[in-house]
Structure 1
């Protein structure tokens, strides 16, 4: 019997002004919920667009940094190659300087001996150590 009572009361509810205001509140709440859901979707869409824009910006920045790193690496390789050439030339020049210093000492000793009247012990054209040619060039260490 209770269900019959509810059915009769629900059919009479639509005519009751109290229930009309409840239906109006439900309708307003439904409209309000739809509006909130729409704004929430818009916020999420904007957040997604912002994240996509930031991703794009960071990729561009990453590419620029990668290019700068590559350029710096190439400069480093070129400078390292030039530095190796200079080190090889420095070693050769140092050896040549030692050789020339030794020749100068021998020549000075010979001049001292000649000035004292002693006979020359070696021929000036026969040096105790031959002068090595400088072999390093800028083409040797290029990659």
Structure 2
């Protein structure tokens, strides 16, 4: 909107121009107030986003720590399972040896010996009911 220019001969007491000046002054004040509210609103949005970033970074750190702990516990369990598998294989071998001795005693000595069956899971420890699946992940992938 082009500014209204007063004729050189008009006086400040002319009611037409006083009304225009008053409207212009009110519009300027309204625009200033609107701009101030807009700046305050934008500042608040910025603060909210900064707070959200901080909260998300904190959550990310906590999740990374939980993943690290879970990974450590997984590795400990995997090591314990490996020890138990090795022990099961060793015990299965011993049971086979004892069964062989019992077969020999039965054949040579003529004794009726009850020879226990070796259960399937011990015969094939690598065929467990729950298959083992390696999980390959590193904490580096999760860091930003």
Give TM-score scaled by structure 2 length: 0.69
Where do 5+ consecutive residues of structure 2 fail to align?
Answer: 112-144
Cα RMSD after superposing both structures: 1.7
State the Cα deviation string for residues 47-101 of structure 1 (Å, max 9, x = none).
0000011111111111111111001000000000011111111111111111110
Aligned to 1:82: 80
Matched, 1:57 2:69: no
Q: CA 1:32 to 1:58, structure 2 compared with 1: closer, same or farther past 3 Å?
A: same
Larger radius of gyration: 1
Q: What are the residue-to-residue correspondences of 1:131-142 with 2, within 5 Å?
A: none
| Deviation for aligned residue 1:10 | 3.3
Give TM-score scaled by structure 1 length: 0.70
Aligned to 2:97: 99
Q: Secondary structure at the match of 1:12?
A: coil
- Structure having the higher helix fraction is 1
Identify the match of residue 110 of structure 1 among 90, 104, 108.
108
Q: Secondary structure at the match of 1:14?
A: coil
| Deviation for aligned residue 1:12 | 1.1
Higher relative contact order (CA 8 A, sep 6+): 1
| Deviation for aligned residue 1:108 | 2.0
Runs of at least 4 residues off by over 3 Å: none
Aligned to 1:35: 33
Matched, 1:14 2:38: no
The number of residue pairs the alignment matches comes to: 107
d(CA) in 1 for partners of 2:29, 2:9: 25
d(CA) in 2 for partners of 1:32, 1:13: 27
Aligned to 1:67: 65
Aligned to 1:45: 43
